[in-house]
Amino acid sequence: MRIGVVMRSNSERAAETVDALSQLATRRGLSVGAVPEHGSGELLEPREMADCDVVIAVGGDGTVLEAIRYGVPNDLPVLGVNTGRVGFLAEAETDDLAAVIDMIADRSWSETSRMTLSATIAGKQSGVGLNDIVVEKIKSQQLVSLELHIDDERFLTYRADGLVFATPTGSTAYNLSAGGPIVDPLIDTIIVTPVAPYSLFSRTLCLPPTARIVCTVTLDRPAGVSVDGVHIGTLALDESVVIERGSQRARFISLGRRSYLQTVKSKLKLYEGLDGASF
């Protein structure tokens, strides 16, 4: 079996973890390739990930999102090993490396799958994301005006800093910071949350996963479009981005050690006092 490794660059802890992972994998007869270049592995180009059986991301949530960009188009399962600060998307910690390698070598892992979102600009698919697609202002002192059509029906024009279109997986990222809800990834829905809206209506929408959303700039103020934090284009007046459920789902390796609610409590550091109050 072959493991593709995506690691956080410029991280000593991530580098040490990849070294340990490579040594454990070699002992079990597994080959390891690294992206980006790292001393303990053969350098892999994105297209070469198709020759791998699994992808392991070593770092934080950003590294897992990068691994997903390799995993989804090659239909590969991804496992995150957390060496970052939060690691909401990571299933394993560094202490789990031996168990992870044994599980992969024995082909005994279980999987979950999660919906993705696609962004199409000017008739071309510009990106597929696991977390979110964000349309937001470029100039800091100016709001943008964004008109939404949902399934060919005009809904509303937002004057705001931007709009976050999130998957349930991404509900704990920018969506949560903007005041949106936490949604279990087992539910398929498109979450639409305005960022600092200049409007009496500031509520989140949870739309069916089949919804087709067209977001159009209606003032002469440009808006940037990003997918999972990566800028993919700029919209001028009367230009649009089409947001839909992605045609492929993201595959995740699961250790099955904790529920989603346990992850939320742990990663967001939610505690209860003796009186039952949360803080």
Task: Catalogue the active-site residues.
Answer: 61
3-state class percentages of the chain: helix first, strand second, coil last, to nearest 5: 20, 40, 40
Upper half-sphere CA count for residue 258 (Cβ side, 13 Å): 14
DSSP string for 9-66: TT-HHHHHHHHHHHHHHHHTT-EEEEES--TTSEE--GGGGGG-SEEEEEESHHHHHH
Structure token pair of residue 258: 């904790």
Strand pairing class (31-35; 2-7): parallel
| Cβ proximity of 260 and 186 under 8 Å | yes
Query: Residue 170 in 3-state DSSP?
Result: helix
Task: Map tokens 């087992």 to a residue.
Answer: 186
| Cβ proximity of 217 and 235 under 8 Å | yes
